[in-house]
Amino acid sequence: MDKIIIRGGNRLSGTIPISGAKNAALTLIPCALLTDEPLTLRNLPRLADIDGFQHLMTQFGVSVAIAGHRPEDFGRVVTLQATRLTSTVAPYDLVRKMRASILVLGPLLARAGEATVSLPGGCAIGNRPIDLHLKALEAFGAEIELAQGYVRAVAPDGGLPGGDFDFPVVSVGATENALMAAVLAKGTSRLSNAAREPEIVDLCNLLCAMGAEIEGIGSSELVVHGVPRLNGATYKVMPDRIEAGSYACAAAITGGSVRLEGARADEMSATLHALRNAGVTVESDAKGISVEVHGPLKPVNLSTAPYPGFATDMQAQLMALLCRAEGASVLTETIFENRYMHVPELNRMGANIETSGRTAIVHGVEALTGAEVMATDLRASMSLVIAGLAAEGETQVHRLYHLDRGYERLEEKLALLGADIERVGG
């Protein structure tokens, strides 16, 4: 099995292109199920999760065509077309490795009137039930049945009538599924306390480009007027705000100076605020973000929260950065109850982190030391890479399949900045 070897101590410097957002792309791809016309997605990142989702789409009879590209380029142009749906079943073997697979439920139900989807898998970062997905679809008129590890959803004859749903807690995935189900409903649907993440806005913008009618985009109150059909579209995937934040932490922990080309400051204000509080100089313009460190890092206290709060997907990376701060930081994880599995691995590298329930206290240390470490989930993997970049000696990161799910050609991008990093087959 492959591993990444990092020889730490190099100051990162230069420009790095930010890829298309994984979390947005995994929501945009199933939109192809809503129309028989071609959907072309530009800036689609080359990731294991994207490849897996594209493979899942072929299960339903969707054709997938990847435009020619140069090997040195980042991103792809992919055209998906569901001229005719040949199946409405998403089997366990294809769904179990990727939680985002549940996002085919809404569009299949909307277009075909039925869907049978295996309960999803994904990273082991805590309990992530899909009950809100199902309750929203029921509010729109679907009949839901759970049996033998599958969800079966059926719309009334003539399609979903639409309806109102008030999310008791904010759920990104459930908001996405509900939106894709509502766009072809017979009536108007209202979503209250909906998620506001930039990826939700990206989804709404694509759906509108396909002919959907959605009001309140960017707010927690969404109104969807169902339309009889949607058309195809060509759409560019938004830049990955989590990737950008991750590389910002990598630059900062090495005392570096890095330009994040294509990153949008308005979509990651909570991350940039945390970095500034940690002593990182952050400047932005219409084309990207620049980060630089001139002095010692400072401790930070913060809690994860739904957007526009500090993203749970940035918690592990910021924790790695704060291992080198002068003082004690306090991080509270409010989204997932089991998202500190990277802590023992960081402590193996000389970090001093204590956890109690959902709270972690990070005592800054003078130096980190290289070690063999094991990735436990996607963002935890990146935290170990960030720590390794600043550690004395050699760090070996195992279980790279986690990293490959969410970071496009990570070692190549870091090498562009001067990191001593390589992938080694095992």
Which pTM was predicted?
A: 0.95
Of 390 and 126, the structure prediction assigns the larger pLDDT to 390
Strand partners, 4: 397, 423
Q: Would strands 89-90 and 114-118 be described as parallel, antiparallel, or unpaired?
A: parallel
- Please write the tens of the pLDDT for every residue from 16-29: 999 999 999 999 99
Q: What is the pLDDT of residue 69?
A: 62
Contact status, residue 105 vs residue 153, Cβ threshold 8 Å: yes
CA–CA gap between residue 114 and residue 106 (Å, rounded): 9
Residue 419 has pLDDT above 90, yes or no: yes
Binding site residues, as ranges? 22-23, 99, 128-132, 313, 335
CB crowding 17-37: b at 16 or more within 10 Å, else e = bbbbbbbbbbbbbbbbbbbbb
According to CATH, what is the number of the domain 3-18+239-424? 3.65.10.10
- Please write the tens of the pLDDT for every residue from 214-261: 999 999 999 999 999 999 999 999 999 999 999 999 999 999 999 999
- 72 pLDDT tier (thresholds 50, 70, 90): low
Average pLDDT for the chain: 94
- 121 pLDDT tier (thresholds 50, 70, 90): low
Identify the burial level of 71 via C-beta atoms within 10 angstroms of its C-beta, where 0-12 means exposed, 13-18 middle and 19 or more buried. Answer: exposed
Contact status, residue 155 vs residue 109, Cβ threshold 8 Å: yes
- Please write the tens of the pLDDT for every residue from 73-111: 678 999 999 999 999 999 988 887 787 899 999 999 999
Of 338 and 375, the structure prediction assigns the larger pLDDT to 375
Catalytic: which of 123, 204, 249, 323? 123
- Please write the tens of the pLDDT for every residue from 291-316: 999 999 999 999 999 999 999 999 99
Q: What is the pLDDT of residue 338?
A: 73
Contact status, residue 104 vs residue 138, Cβ threshold 8 Å: no
Q: Would strands 150-154 and 143-147 be described as parallel, antiparallel, or unpaired?
A: antiparallel
DSSP character string of 245-269:
HHHHHHHHHTT-EEEEET--GGG-H
Binding site residues for UDP-N-acetyl-alpha-D-glucosamine, as ranges? 99, 128-132, 313, 335
According to CATH, what is the number of the domain 22-236? 3.65.10.10
- Please write the tens of the pLDDT for every residue from 157-167: 999 999 999 99
Q: What is the pLDDT of residue 75?
A: 83
Q: What is the pLDDT of residue 123?
A: 39
Query: For residue 117, which of 132, 98, 136 has the smallest C-alpha distance?
Result: 98
Strand partners, 90: 117
The domains of the chain are located at 3-18+239-424, 22-236
Query: For residue 31, which of 127, 106, 102 has the smallest C-alpha distance?
Result: 106
- 148 pLDDT tier (thresholds 50, 70, 90): confident
Residue 71 has pLDDT above 60, yes or no: no
What percent of the chain has a predicted confidence (pLDDT) above 90? 87
Residue 122 has pLDDT above 50, yes or no: no
Which single residue is written with the structure tokens 């990273």?
123
Q: What is the pLDDT of residue 125?
A: 32
CA–CA gap between residue 19 and residue 22 (Å, rounded): 8
Tell me if 3-18+239-424 shares its fold with 22-236. Answer: yes
Per the annotation, the verdict on 123 as an active-site residue is: yes
Residue 192 has pLDDT above 50, yes or no: yes
CA–CA gap between residue 63 and residue 80 (Å, rounded): 6
CA angle, 36 as apex, 134 and 204 as ends, to 5°? 50
Q: Which residues contact 12 (CB under 8 A, 6 or more apart)?
A: 250, 251, 254, 256, 257, 258, 389, 414, 417, 418, 419
